[in-house]
Amino acid sequence: MVCEKCTKKLGKVITPDTWKEGARNTTESGGRAINENKALTSKKSRFNPYTTKFDKCRICKQIVHQANSYYCQQCAYKKGICAMCGVKILDTKGYRQSSV
């Protein structure tokens, strides 16, 4: 779970999505330029195994699978928070949450 503010921090895929309506990397939605070389322009969002450090989750101390995240996806789902910044997204009071 990622909030709307943190969706800008997520990496973009080189190939465009086939489903155009909700895609972030198509020319129609404005997320991708025509004749853009993604290998040159996406230095900050591209995964680099030597410099990218995966932190531990602040709740369960498990290694996080997403770069620049503070919480793992299981804990973010259970608590209803953003995995990158920790902002409350969903009120989980009426839900029966389980990570199984």
Indicate the pTM of the whole model. Answer: 0.61
pLDDT per residue as tens digits for the range 20-38: 666 655 565 555 666 777 6
Q: How many helices (H) does the chain have, and how many strands (E)?
A: 2, 0
d(CA 13, CA 46): 9
Residues in Cβ contact with 46 at an 8 Å cutoff, skipping those fewer than 6 apart:
11, 39
Q: What is the dihedral of CA 16, 2, 58, 76, to 10 degrees?
A: -110
Share of the chain above pLDDT 70, in %: 61
How confident is the model over 36-48, as a mean pLDDT? Answer: 66
d(CA 19, CA 58): 35
Residues present in the chain in total: 100
66: DSSP letter:
S
92 pLDDT band (50/70/90 cuts)? confident
